[in-house]
Amino acid sequence: TLASQVSELASKLAESASSSSSTTASYVKRVDYLEMEKIALEKQVSLMTQKLQHVIRALNCMSQEQERIVTQAADFEETMHSVAQEQNQIMADAARQEQILIDAAREREQIVSILTRQAVEIEKTTAERQRIIQAVSDQACSMDNAKNERDDLFDKVTKQKLEMAELVSGIQELGISGANTNSYDDDTDSDDDSDDDTVESNADMVLSAYQQDSIIEEIVPTTEEEIKEQDTTPEAEETSSMDEVTDQQGKEIEDEIEYRLADGRTASEVLNEALAVPEDDAQRLEN
């Protein structure tokens, strides 16, 4: 029994030794495997560390890029705000320009109306001028006729003065001859009385002739200046005033036309240009 027990114990020891050796070998293999896994894990950790460093750098760059994007977004927002203000200003300027175009079109219509009215007034003034010129021409003919009649009357008055002077001289000679015949008889005295009556009647005629002569000289003008001074009839005054008004209106119209046609254009060209509305202005007004 003891031998059997010893043998059993020996077998058990052998079995435990073999099992422990096999366990040790497995443990050694396990340790080697774990060492290899540790080395691989260290390599992976190193690789992951490098990757994480790259990721950190990328995140830093991304954060910087985000900050730059935020800054640019703020700048863009300010730019858009200024652009909106400029757009509002442009819209206000466009509205003001449209109003200016409307006012310009209205003023153009007023200018066309003024030019048309001035053209009508010029035509009326021209017709009135022609009528006045015709009236002045007729008046000039009448003045020439009056001058000729005045000259004829002046010649007749001069001739009458000469005849009256001759008559006075003859009367004076008769008076002298009558004074030298005072020694005649009563019959000759009666003849002298009749001669004296004749002399007195002739003297009265001479006096009345001189009075008529002075009246004619006062009535009939002898020079052109007196004719112009005495030409104060209503027709002459009306003709003179109308001539002055016509000249003044013609001068004003000529000044206005010269002012508006200072670039050498004719009145028809100005009217056509004033009536023609530019296409851009018309399109803007339609919009």
Domain edges within the chain: 118-286
Phi, psi values for residue 49, rounded to 5°: -65, -45
Question: By the 8 A CB rule, do 121 and 249 touch?
Answer: yes
**10-residue stretch averages of pLDDT, the chain, 287 residues long:** 68 67 74 86 90 90 90 91 92 92 91 90 88 85 85 84 82 66 47 47 48 45 45 49 53 54 52 50 49
Q: How far apart are CA 130 and CA 250, in angstroms?
A: 13
Please give the pLDDT value at position 230: 45
Please give the pLDDT value at position 90: 93
Residue range 197-214, pLDDT digits in tens: 544 454 455 445 444 444
Question: By the 8 A CB rule, do 222 and 97 touch?
Answer: no
pTM confidence score: 0.31
Please give the pLDDT value at position 80: 92
Please give the pLDDT value at position 133: 86
Please give the pLDDT value at position 92: 92
CA torsion angle 66 72 77 78 (round to 10): 140
Nearest residue to 287 via CA among 95, 19, 40: 95
Nearest residue to 240 via CA among 227, 228, 251: 228
- Cβ-based neighbours of 112, under 8 Å, separated by 6 or more: 271, 274, 275
Question: By the 8 A CB rule, do 261 and 274 touch?
Answer: no
Task: Pull the structure tokens for residue 82.
Answer: 């200024």
State how far the alpha carbon of 89 is from the alpha carbons of 16, 59, 275, in Å: 103, 44, 32
State how far the alpha carbon of 101 is from the alpha carbons of 277, 282, 284, in Å: 10, 9, 9
Nearest residue to 122 via CA among 279, 252, 262, 269: 252
